[in-house]
């Protein structure tokens, strides 16, 4: 058998194997992405329910009360109070006239 024939078949087999590998990787990424999206949608739905629950129960507290509660619960957290907002990690508490109006 000629060297070029052997080289051709080796190259052909390696191309087929690598293409099969990349197809498997793409299918795996698609499945992982769909699970990630479902998990994210589930979490955002749960946070929406929690926001409504927090707003209903926390209406009785003033901005200073909520700031005090957050500092007691998370003493090492980075908490910023800017005007009518309290920022803690990725959560923003918005106030109007010292009353809680929204949680983002």
Read off the pLDDT of residues 31-81 as tens digits, 9 standing for 90 and up. Answer: 999 999 998 888 887 677 667 767 677 778 888 888 888 888 888 888 889
Instruction: Using CB atoms within 10 Å of the CB of residue 25, give its burial: 0 to 12 exposed, 13 to 18 middle, 19+ buried.
Output: exposed
Q: What pLDDT was estimated at residue 9?
A: 94
Do 42 and 81 lie in a common domain?
no
Q: What residue numbers bound the domain in which 94 lies?
A: 60-104
Q: What pLDDT was estimated at residue 53?
A: 65
Do 8 and 42 lie in a common domain?
yes
Q: What pLDDT was estimated at residue 36?
A: 94
User: Can you tell me the distance from the alpha carbon of 48 to that of 60, in angstroms, rounded to the nearest whole number?
Assistant: 20
Do 46 and 69 lie in a common domain?
no
Do 103 and 72 lie in a common domain?
yes
Q: What is the pTM of this model?
A: 0.53
pLDDT at residue 101 is higher than 80: yes
- Cα–Cα nearest to 63, from 99, 18, 103, 35: 99
Do 43 and 71 lie in a common domain?
no
Residues 6+ apart with CB under 8 A from 61: 69, 100
Do 53 and 64 lie in a common domain?
no
Can you read off the two tokens belonging to residue 5? 């024939």
Do 45 and 75 lie in a common domain?
no
Using a pLDDT cut of 70, give the percent of the chain over it: 94
Q: How confident is the model at residue 30 (pLDDT cuts 50, 70, 90)?
A: very high
Do 85 and 47 lie in a common domain?
no
Q: What pLDDT was estimated at residue 14?
A: 97
Do 52 and 35 lie in a common domain?
yes
Q: Mean pLDDT, the chain, as a whole number?
A: 86
Question: What total of structural domains would you count in the chain?
Answer: 2
Do 45 and 73 lie in a common domain?
no
- H or E element at residue 61: none
Do 41 and 76 lie in a common domain?
no
Do 23 and 1 lie in a common domain?
yes
């Amino acid at each position: 058998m000629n060297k070029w024939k052997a080289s051709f078949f080796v190259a052909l087999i390696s191309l087929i194997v690598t293409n099969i590998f990349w197809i498997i990787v793409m299918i795996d990424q698609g499945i992982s992405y769909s699970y990630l999206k479902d998990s994210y949608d589930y979490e955002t739905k749960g946070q929406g329910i929690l926001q409504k629950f927090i707003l209903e129960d926390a209406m009785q507290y003033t901005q200073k009360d909520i700031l005090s509660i957050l500092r007691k619960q998370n003493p090492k957290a980075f908490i910023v109070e800017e005007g009518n907002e309290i920022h803690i990690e990725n959560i923003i508490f918005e106030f109007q006239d010292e009353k809680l109006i929204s949680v983002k």
